[in-house]
């Protein structure tokens, strides 16, 4: 062994040593690996749909337990009130007005859409791959179904799922009122010719949606078991409880809340199985599991949509019910248990998990995520004090601390809901008045002034991305 090689060895040993010390300092224990991350992302789940968030008849004992052992966030937000922008923002840590993944003309991507997430965007999966993570996207993608836009081209080693919403590729025209029925047995999984993909291949079409939740859970557990030696990141994006609702036989009729409750109880059961698998593999002390959803409940589907609990309105709107979601962080070795009423956003996962994995935040672009790690690990106050509620590419509302100013309000998307511009804005104190009932604009001119300068500052730096949702073929 010559001197050069010896020196290289010494350097390596030193580097490993320093890295270990940094990790130990960060995580307070003797881990030599950065933590695993699992994001469980429901589709159209309401703020009020879990037991621990107040639902009287949907039983979610596994999620309740996670909230009890970890952190239950009560001001945690999806970055948009509809699917495509919400997912794009989560994975990139950026408002989609920047990436072009939101539009004022088309709410989401459709099977005839031409584009998807621009290659220039950096996903959380791409970030984590830089430091050796194994990455999987299991479930709904909805950021472009053509090959170049698929998860496997966006930092994910593995993909298994339906590339867009489960109500697309409709074969039979189903009237709204069929969806309104509590027991909507007339709606069959083969009415929707959606593909199920593994990596870049379609392996089933129409996807059998009756077993889709179950199969997503199984795929997740299988990925955990195969990659237990690596650090891993799993983005498990359930297609449910988005309409049409489907469950496996075991859960059909199980809940008191009808089919919607059955679906949630199956998702909860899957969460329990994932936690059990982590424990079985001895990974529970070095894994963070997050549970949240892409946007609020789709209220126009009545009892086949969810409930925002005490919050106002639902999916498609910038009222609280449209964007505030359950936010449960679990990880017995890492997360300091507690109730968190500070602000958080799904965009913060990009920044926080990059930081915890030791990956640099990209310096060449504006990142909207905040690093929540001090809150998660030590219970410190959340660093996030503001939040922009975009609809399409327009700011409809802004939250600053306890307050939220509505500049524009509008009902659910499509033909529903009239658009109203508010000048001066409506102002609510959301901490005291989470139901958005009492306008306190007159009493708080300074808050409105501060919010206005926040908007000016934000807009002065904003470069709007080219609309990626518009083009079809």
Q: Which residues are catalytic?
A: 83, 142
Q: Which stretch binds a copy of itself (CB under 8 A): 30-38, 102-110, 156-164, 302-310?
A: 302-310
* Among the residue ranges 108-116, 202-210, 215-223, 251-259, the one whose residues contact a copy of itself (CB under 8 A): 251-259
Per DSSP (E only), the strands in 178-270 are 196-198, 201-204, 232-237
Check residue 22 for interaction with a copy of itself (CB under 8 A).
no
CB of 417 to a copy of itself, least distance (A): 18
d(CA 46, CA 64): 15
Question: Which of 302, 385, 386, 422: binder of a copy of itself (CB under 8 A)?
Answer: 302
Does the footprint of a copy of itself cover residue 354 (CB under 8 A)?
no
Q: State yes or no: residue 71 binds a copy of itself (CB under 8 A).
A: no
Is the N-terminal amide bond of 241 cis, ω within 30° of 0? yes
- Of 71, 75, 154, 373, the one binding a copy of itself (CB under 8 A) is 75
For residue 377, the number of C-alpha atoms closer than 13 Å in the C-beta half-sphere is 20
The one among 178, 394, 433, 467 contacting a copy of itself by CB under 8 A: 433
Residue span 26-45 as binding mask against a copy of itself, x where in contact by CB under 8 A, dash where not = --------------------
Beta-bridged to residue 125, according to DSSP, are none
CB of 69 to a copy of itself, least distance (A): 10
The whole-angstrom separation of Cα 317 and Cα 246 is 25
**Whose CA is closest to 467, among 141, 165, 116?**
116
Tell whether residue 384 is a contact of a copy of itself (CB under 8 A): no
Q: How far apart are CA 403 and CA 418, in angstroms?
A: 24
**Nearest distance in Å: CB 435, a copy of itself:** 7
Based on the shown chain and the rule CB under 8 A, indicate whether residue 261 belongs to the binding site for a copy of itself.
yes
Rounded to a whole number of angstroms, the minimum distance from the CB of residue 315 to a copy of itself is 16
Beta pairing class for 420-429 and 36-42: unpaired
The verdict on 309 binding a copy of itself (CB under 8 A) reads yes
Alpha carbon distance 373, 360 (integer Å)? 14
Among 36, 59, 292, 468, binds a copy of itself (CB under 8 A): 59
Continuous segment of H or E residues that includes residue 67 = helix 61-69
- Burial of residue 3 (CB within 10 Å: 0-12, 13-18, 19+) is exposed
Count the site residues for a copy of itself by CB under 8 A.
37
Which of residues 341, 380, 466, 472 is near a copy of itself by CB under 8 A? Answer: 341
Minimum CB distance to a copy of itself smaller for 55 or for 191: 55
Q: Which of 326, 214, 316 is nearest to 272 (CA)?
A: 214
Tell me the three state secondary structure of residue 105.
coil
Q: Does 100 bind a copy of itself (CB under 8 A)?
A: no
Q: Does 253 bind a copy of itself (CB under 8 A)?
A: no
Give the span between the Cα atoms of 432 and 442, in whole angstroms: 16
**What does R_g of the chain's alpha carbons equal in angstroms?**
22
Binder among 34, 35, 48, 392 for a copy of itself (CB under 8 A): 48
Interacting span for a copy of itself (CB under 8 A) from 97-105, 134-142, 306-314, 343-351: 306-314
End-to-end CA distance of the chain: 63
For residues 111 and 202, the answer to whether their CB atoms sit within 8 Å is no
Contact 351, 357 (CB under 8 A): no
Kindly state whether residue 257 participates in binding a copy of itself, applying the rule CB under 8 A: yes
Cβ atoms of 350 and 127 within 8 Å: the answer is: yes
Site for a copy of itself in 437-456 (CB under 8 A): 437-438
Output the smallest distance, CB 75 to a copy of itself, in A.
6
- Cα distances from 187 to residues 19, 177, 245, 391, in angstroms, run 55, 11, 9, 31
3-class DSSP state of 192? strand
Contact 157, 383 (CB under 8 A): no
> Which one of 7-15, 59-67, 238-246, 417-425 is the stretch in contact with a copy of itself (CB under 8 A)?
59-67
Closest separation in Å from C-beta 261 to a copy of itself: 8
- Residue 302: other Cβ atoms inside 10 A: 14
Position 182 contacts a copy of itself (CB under 8 A): yes
Q: Is 68 in the site for a copy of itself (CB under 8 A)?
A: yes
Distance (Å, rounded) from C-alpha 193 to C-alpha 205? 6
Nearer to a copy of itself, 64 or 450 (CB): 64
Going residue by residue from 111 to 140, which x/- string records binding to a copy of itself, judged by CB under 8 A? ------------------------------
Q: Distance (Å, rounded) from C-alpha 52 to C-alpha 465?
A: 39
Residue 256 binding a copy of itself, by CB under 8 A: yes
Is-contact 86 436, C-beta < 8 A?
no
Burial (CB count within 10 angstroms: exposed 0-12, middle 13-18, buried 19+), residue 422: middle
Kindly tell me which residue out of 35, 51, 93, 296 binds a copy of itself, with binding defined by CB under 8 A: 51
Q: Does 362 sit near a copy of itself (CB under 8 A)? A: no
Least distance to a copy of itself from the beta carbon of 275, Å? Answer: 16
User: By the criterion CB under 8 A, which residues form the site for a copy of itself?
Assistant: 48, 51-57, 59, 61, 64, 68, 72, 74-75, 182, 256-258, 261, 302-303, 307, 309-310, 324, 339, 341, 402, 429, 431-435, 437-438
């Amino acid at each position: 062994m010559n001197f050069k090689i010896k020196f290289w060895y010494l350097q390596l040993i030193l580097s490993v040593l320093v890295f270990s010390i940094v990790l130990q300092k960060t995580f307070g224990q003797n881990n030599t690996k950065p933590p695993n991350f699992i994001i469980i992302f429901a589709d159209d789940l309401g703020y009020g749909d879990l037991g621990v968030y107040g639902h009287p008849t949907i039983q979610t004992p596994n999620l309740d337990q996670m909230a009890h052992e970890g952190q239950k966030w009560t001001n945690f937000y999806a970055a948009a009130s509809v699917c495509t922008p919400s997912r794009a923002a989560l994975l990139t840590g950026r408002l989609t007005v920047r990436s072009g993944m939101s539009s004022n003309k088309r709410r989401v991507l459709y099977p005839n859409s031409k584009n998807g997430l621009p290659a220039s965007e950096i996903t959380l999966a791409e970030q984590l791959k830089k430091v050796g993570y194994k990455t999987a996207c299991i479930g709904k993608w909805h950021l472009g179904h053509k090959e170049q836009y698929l998860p496997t081209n966006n930092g994910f080693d593995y993909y298994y799922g339906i590339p867009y919403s489960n109500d697309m590729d409709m074969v039979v025209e189903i009237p709204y009122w069929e969806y309104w029925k509590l027991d909507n047995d007339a709606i069959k999984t083969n009415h929707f010719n959606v593909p199920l993909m593994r990596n870049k291949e379609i392996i089933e079409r129409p996807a059998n949606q009756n077993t889709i939740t179950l199969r997503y859970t199984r795929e997740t557990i299988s990925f955990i078991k195969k990659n237990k030696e690596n650090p891993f990141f799993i983005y498990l994006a359930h297609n449910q409880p988005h309409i049409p609702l489907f469950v496996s036989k075991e859960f059909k009729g199980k809940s008191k809340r009808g089919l919607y409750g059955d679906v949630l109880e199956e998702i909860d059961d899957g969460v329990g199985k994932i936690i059990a698998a982590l424990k079985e593999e001895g990974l529970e002390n070095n894994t963070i599991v997050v549970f949240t959803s892409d946007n609020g409940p789709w209220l126009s589907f009545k009892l086949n949509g969810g409930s925002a609990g005490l919050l106002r309105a639902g999916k498609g709107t910038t009222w609280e019910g449209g964007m505030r979601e359950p936010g449960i962080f679990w990880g017995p070795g890492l997360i300091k248990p507690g109730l968190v009423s500070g602000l958080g956003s799904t965009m913060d996962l990009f920044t926080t998990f990059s930081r915890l994995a030791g990956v640099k935040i990209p310096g060449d672009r504006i990142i909207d995520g905040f690093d929540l790690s001090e809150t998660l690990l030590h219970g410190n106050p959340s660093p996030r004090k503001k939040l922009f509620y975009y609809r399409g590419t327009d700011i409809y509302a802004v939250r600053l601390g306890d307050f939220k100013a509505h500049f524009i309000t509008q009902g659910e998307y499509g033909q529903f809901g009239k658009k109203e511009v508010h000048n001066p804005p409506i102002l609510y104190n959301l901490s005291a008045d989470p139901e958005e009932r009492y306008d306190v604009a007159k009493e708080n001119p300074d808050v409105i002034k501060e919010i206005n300068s926040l908007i000016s500052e934000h807009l002065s730096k904003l470069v709007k991305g080219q609309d990626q949702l518009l083009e079809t073929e």
